[in-house]
Amino acid sequence: MSQSIHNIVKNLNLPEPVEKYSAVTGGDINQAFHVYTHSYSFFLLVQQDATRQFFSHEVAGLKALGKFAKTPQVLDFGDNSQDAYLLLEYIDHLPHGNQYELGQALAKVHQSTSPNQQFGFDSNFELGNFTGDNQWQDNWYDFFVNQRFEPLRKLIIHNHNGSVELEHLYQNMLQQFQHDLANHQSIPSLLHGDLWGGNIMFDLDQHPVFIDPAVYYGDREFDIAITQVFGGFDQNFIQGYQDTYPLDDGYQDRLVYYKLYYMMFHLSEFGSIYQPSVYRLLQQFI
């Protein structure tokens, strides 16, 4: 481990001296560490070659979600002039838990709407090479096309040489997206923003814990769609959600747009292994 990591750990403002720390695997964006003192343990995230600003949106997101659902407590964040860090409470967890309660918890998050009734957030988020532009907008279609789809399309063209076929399919999708949203009222709900199975934990009492958010206020169907991309959410989850805050009729047909966004992000970030998934989703709009 680098000297920079050692310096960050050594200078953490903790109630007791650090006895040891170890790397935690599984993160794509940040380095992660489990930090131990004699009586406590903590979770440390480090982003190399960044300032404390890198974690400011995640801190805001955890605090926003924490008003309505369980999240790790933010203890500190900053930088050592080389790397940024975020220190969180460590939550002992189980691989599985109460999915019905998870659905209820997400529904309660979504029942919180933006104070200005617009779509966006007061700060942007960074996911790898993609910046989530959260500038406030009155219209959900304009927000999602101009601040989600278009930046990803440009990244894909830059990184993977987009094709005429891809562009044709993409433009056809945008027309269908506009048509489908015309018959649906989008409400600016508080979103987790990156709700795949790896960003949910269950504590030792099987209660859900939300981690690694990329929050903004948007159509709640976005979060629901992301839960269906890589698995980890079962029928009890959606039942708990529906019993708390029922989704609008036809929601299943609109989820494909947000699944496409997620596959476009993965294509832009992780390469051509995700290209067949992007094409398959786009071809649904022919």
Q: What is the pLDDT of residues 51-108, one digit of tens each?
A: 999 999 999 999 999 999 999 999 999 999 889 999 999 999 998 999 999 999 999 9
**Confidence class of residue 32 from pLDDT cuts 50, 70 and 90?**
very high
What is the rounded (10 degree) CA torsion for 157, 216, 60, 155? 0
pLDDT at 144: 98
Bridge partner list, 36: 20, 41
**Confidence class of residue 27 from pLDDT cuts 50, 70 and 90?**
low
Helix axes 150-160, 251-270, angle to 10 degrees: 40
First CA to last CA distance, the chain? 50
Within 10 A of 86 (CB to CB), how many other CB atoms are there?
Answer: 24
pLDDT at 84: 93
Name the catalytic one among 79, 83, 194, 219.
Answer: 194
CB burial string 222-250: b at 16+ within 10 A, e below: bbbbbbbbeebbeeebbebbeebbebeee
The structure's pTM equals 0.94
Distance CA 52, CA 63 (A): 16
pLDDT at 108: 98
pLDDT at 26: 57
Phi, psi values for residue 63, rounded to 5°: -70, -40
Residue 198 has what DSSP assignment?
Answer: G
Q: Is 194 an annotated catalytic residue?
A: yes
* pLDDT 10s digits, 132-153: 999 999 999 999 999 999 999 9
**Confidence class of residue 28 from pLDDT cuts 50, 70 and 90?**
low
pLDDT at 36: 94
130-132/74-79 β-pairing: unpaired
**Confidence class of residue 272 from pLDDT cuts 50, 70 and 90?**
confident
Is pLDDT larger for residue 180 or for residue 128? 180
pLDDT at 102: 98
Domains observed in the chain: 3-90 (3.30.200.20), 94-285 (3.90.1200.10)
Mean pLDDT of the chain: 93
Q: Is the pLDDT of residue 1 over 60?
A: no
